[in-house]
Amino acid sequence: MKIREAVLKEDIKAISKFLSTYNLVYEDDIDMTLYMEEAGRIIATVSSAEHIIKCVAVDETYQGQHLLNTLMSKLIKQLNEKGHDHLFVYTQPEHIGIFRSLGFKEIVQTMNLTFMELHGDIEQTLKRLKRKYDLDNRAKGAVVINANPFTKGHLHLIEEASKLHEQIIVFVVSEDRSFFPFEDRFEIIKNSFRHRPDIHVLPSKDYLVSFATFPKYFLKQEQSIKKEHALIDVLTFKQHYMRIFNINARYVGEEPYSPMTDVYNQTMKEYLGSALKIVERKTIDTVPISASTVRKLLKKNGLDTVRKYVPEATYDYLISDKGQRVIRRLKRHESRH
């Protein structure tokens, strides 16, 4: 049976229709779709959005013929070509068996979803990271930040945390879907703490995934989708990061404005309990500092207005060639996280 790639609008339309018979919705962010047909009828399909596998379905009468093994083999190779070699899927717990037989391994499970990975291993990855950064087994506090860009708000959060812990780990979100590239965000933070041997700056690796690529088609209400995403993220952090790095407290900034982050913080509170520490947001001239405020100011008014909101390392970066390029890009684009 021949595998085809869906490129035409008609193909996508037919696949959406096929998926709908299995109560699945073809998601907007899908960038590759493969399918098989017989006698002009679609019988199996898989899709992906970057490195996330989505919308997997096989016609009932063709199940048990391993069509998915054929489709997945092809998809894996095509994704490798695009540079995605560590793949993920969110699936309903009753379908774990199928994905296991394709080589996927479980990362975490909630009542509704199981988060799985292919061609990677969270346990090995985090243990390797721990060795690479030469971290010992003492109890630690942790902060997870995207830092797009790093502000005095982040600095304040980390400094507050470090007052209560001998050792702090700052996980910088590795996922590259922000204005400031990961490498630069990471470098700035590392520079800011170069005189602080108690503050370790680490990449988060691929496991802390943003809401952007999270599949929305399993759940009906938007609120429950956000909650589910937060839950997967928090459980991954708790069951793997906290255990492997011996983290006993996670620090977050208070979120009075962003309801999105607020759902996230509430979920954290529920599942981390007393290990979650909420730190009051730092204000300058009564303005709470956030990365999005800094981006807005950069976009509208330029460099001078943000100087008081960002640490020196960020300012040095912003006036560098690299920083100037990001600012130009920021000014050209519509607002985005």
Partner 1 sequence: MKTVSVGTLESSDCLVTIKPHESLEIEIDTVVHDAFYEHISDLVRKTLKEHGITKAYVIVQDKGALDYAIKARLTTAIKRMRDDNG
Residues that bind partner 1 (CB under 8 A): 66, 69-70, 72-73, 76-77, 80, 83, 85, 102-103, 119, 121, 124
Helix intervals (H) in 193-254: 222-236, 243-245
Beta-strand pair 140-145/287-288:
unpaired
Q: Which of 154, 203, 200, 197 is nearest to 174 (CA)?
A: 203
211 secondary structure, DSSP code: G
Cβ neighbors of 274 (< 8 A, separation 6 or more) are: none
Strand partners, 117: 88, 105
Q: Which is nearer to partner 1, 96 or 275 (CB)?
A: 96
d(CA 33, CA 4): 8
Report the nearest approach of partner 1 to the CB of residue 126 (Å). 15
Report the nearest approach of partner 1 to the CB of residue 254 (Å). 40
Q: Which is nearer to partner 1, 128 or 331 (CB)?
A: 128
Report the nearest approach of partner 1 to the CB of residue 117 (Å). 12
d(CA 278, CA 251): 6
Q: Which is nearer to partner 1, 102 or 298 (CB)?
A: 102
Buried b / exposed e across 55-89, counting CB within 10 Å, b at 16+?
bbbbbeeeeeeebbeebbeebbeebeeeebeebbb
Helices then strands (H, E): number in the chain? 12, 14
Q: Which is nearer to partner 1, 76 or 268 (CB)?
A: 76
> Cα 324–330–334 angle (5° rounding)?
170
Report the nearest approach of partner 1 to the CB of residue 118 (Å). 9
Report the nearest approach of partner 1 to the CB of residue 160 (Å). 35
- Token pair listed for 245: 């790095």
Report the nearest approach of partner 1 to the CB of residue 135 (Å). 17
Q: Which is nearer to partner 1, 73 or 324 (CB)?
A: 73
Q: Which is nearer to partner 1, 124 or 286 (CB)?
A: 124
Report the nearest approach of partner 1 to the CB of residue 124 (Å). 8
Q: Which is nearer to partner 1, 80 or 223 (CB)?
A: 80
